[in-house]
Structure 1
Amino acid sequence: MDNPYKRKKDPERVKQLILDAAMHQLAEQGLTGFSLQSVADAAGVTKGGLLHHFPSKQALMQSAVVEVISLLDQAIEEHIEKDPVDYGCFTRAYIHFTLQKDMHGIGSLSTAVSMAMLTDQVFNQRWVEWMDGRLARHVQTDANMDLMLLRYAADGLWLTMYTGIDEHSNTQLLVDEMLCRTYPASS
C-alpha cells in the first residue's frame, strides 16, 4: 500500500521550488542575508535536499542569477514586442526595468542581480555577457551614442535610488526625460 504522506519524486519541480525561493530571498535579503537553510525552509526541503540539487551556496546563487537574467530577458523581450518604435526599443525597455520601483516583480529581482553583480566577478561576467548579447541583437536600433549614454544614466540613477540618496520628486522627472530622449528626433 502506498504511503499517502510520502512525497512523489519530482526533481525538476523541487529544483524550481528551490530556485524560486533563492530568487525571492535574494530580492528580499540581498547577498548578505542569503543562506542555504532559509532557502531550504522556504522551498519546503531539507538542507541536504537542497544540496542534492545545488552542491554549494555559490552554485545556488549562480543558478538564481542566471534564472533572474532569463526572466529579465523575457520581460524585456515582451516590452520590446509592444513598442511601436524600433529606434531605441531596447534602451527604453532597459530603462523601464532598471528603474522600476516594484518590490515584488522583476524590478526587485533585477536589483538583487545588480547588487550581486557589484560584489562578485562571476555574476558581473554573466551580466556583461547578457548585455553584450542584447546589444548585438539590437545593433540596428540601439547602437547610437546618445542611447548608450541614457543606459549609463539609468544605471547611475538606479544606484542613487538603491542607496536612497535620490530626491524622489525628481526621480520620475528624470526617468520620463530619459525615456523621451530614446525616441528619434523629429525633423
Structure 2
Amino acid sequence: MKNRYQRKKEPAENRRLLLEVAFGMVSELGIDALTLEAVAARAGLSKGGLLHHFPSKSALQEALFRESLDQFSASIRQEREQSPEISPAMAYFRAALTDLASENRRRALLFLFQAAMKEEYYRTHLTEWYREHLPEGNGIASLLTVLVADGLWNAGVFGFYTVTEEQQSQIITLLEQLNTP
C-alpha cells in the first residue's frame, strides 16, 4: 500500500505551508473551523507531520498569532527604514495600509482579530504588543493616526465599509500634516 503522504522532508517549508494553509482556513471559514486534521489534509501532509511542528491546536494558534504580530512589526520597521523622517505613528499607519494591500497579511490580521475577540489570552498579548509598539510621539496627532489606521484595518479586514483610493489619499495627506513637527 502506497502512503499518500510521501513527500520529501522539508521541515521549514512544511512549517511555512502549514501556517499559510491555517491562515487561509481562518480567512475562509473562521477560527472555529481550524482543526489539525483539516489543516494537515489541506496541506497534503499527515497529521503526524503537522504534529511534528505544532503538537496541539493551541500551539498552531500561538504560532499563527506570533507570525501575525511579527509580520506587522516587520512592516512598521520597514516603513521606518524607508522613511526615517516620518513619525512613528505614520510608520504604523503606512504599515497598516501595506498589510491591507497584501492578501496574505490581511489573512494574518483577520486571524489576530478573531483570536483576540475569542480568547482573553490573545487579547492580553495583543494589548502588551500595542503598549510596546504603539508610537507615543506628539500626543493627540499620534493617537488619532493610530486610531485611523486601526479603523481602516477593521474596515479592510472585515469589509465594514469601503474607502476609495481618493479618500485614502486625502486621509494620508491630512495625517501627514497632523504628524509634521
Residue 121 (structure 1) aligns with: 120
Q: How does 1:41-80 map to 2 (within 5 A)?
A: 41-80=41-80
**Does residue 176 of the first structure (1) align with residue 172 of the second (2)?**
yes
Query: Deviation of residue 80 (structure 1)?
Result: 1.2
Residue 92 (structure 1) aligns with: 90
Residue 111 (structure 1) aligns with: 110
**Does residue 159 of the first structure (1) align with residue 151 of the second (2)?**
no
Following the alignment from structure 1 to structure 2, what is the Cα–Cα distance between the partners of residues 164 and 40? Answer: 29
Which AA in structure 2 matches 1:95? F
Aligned in 2, Cα 1:50/1:106: closer, same or farther, shift over 3 Å? same
Q: Contact (CA 8 Å) 1:91, 1:147: kept in 2 or not? A: yes
Q: Contact (CA 8 Å) 1:102, 1:108: kept in 2 or not? A: no
Aligned in 2, Cα 1:48/1:80: closer, same or farther, shift over 3 Å? same
Aligned in 2, Cα 1:16/1:149: closer, same or farther, shift over 3 Å? same
Which AA in structure 1 matches 2:26? L
Count of residues in Structure 1 that have an aligned counterpart in Structure 2:
175
SS at match of 1:105: helix
Aligned in 2, Cα 1:71/1:160: closer, same or farther, shift over 3 Å? closer
Which AA in structure 1 matches 2:61? M
Which consecutive unaligned segments of at least 5 residues does structure 1 have? none
Following the alignment from structure 1 to structure 2, what is the Cα–Cα distance between the partners of residues 117 and 43? Answer: 25
TM-score calculated relative to the size of structure 1: 0.74
Seq. identity, %? 27
Aligned in 2, Cα 1:171/1:114: closer, same or farther, shift over 3 Å? farther
Which AA in structure 2 matches 1:106? R
Query: Deviation of residue 152 (structure 1)?
Result: 2.0
SS at match of 2:32: coil
Q: Contact (CA 8 Å) 2:64, 2:108: kept in 1 or not? A: no
Following the alignment from structure 1 to structure 2, what is the Cα–Cα distance between the partners of residues 178 and 42? Answer: 44
Which AA in structure 1 matches 2:176? C
TM-score calculated relative to the size of structure 2: 0.76
Residue 82 (structure 2) aligns with: 82
Q: Contact (CA 8 Å) 2:79, 2:94: kept in 1 or not? A: no
Cα deviation 1:54-104 (Å, max 9, x = unaligned): 222122111111012112211221111001414x2x322322233454352
- Write 1 or 2 for the structure with the bigger share of helix: 2
Following the alignment from structure 1 to structure 2, what is the Cα–Cα distance between the partners of residues 10 and 176? Answer: 43
Which AA in structure 2 matches 1:55? P
Q: Contact (CA 8 Å) 1:22, 1:39: kept in 2 or not? A: yes
Residue 150 (structure 1) aligns with: 145
Which AA in structure 1 matches 2:81? E
Aligned in 2, Cα 1:6/1:118: closer, same or farther, shift over 3 Å? closer
Aligned in 2, Cα 1:54/1:172: closer, same or farther, shift over 3 Å? same
Which consecutive unaligned segments of at least 5 residues does structure 2 have? none
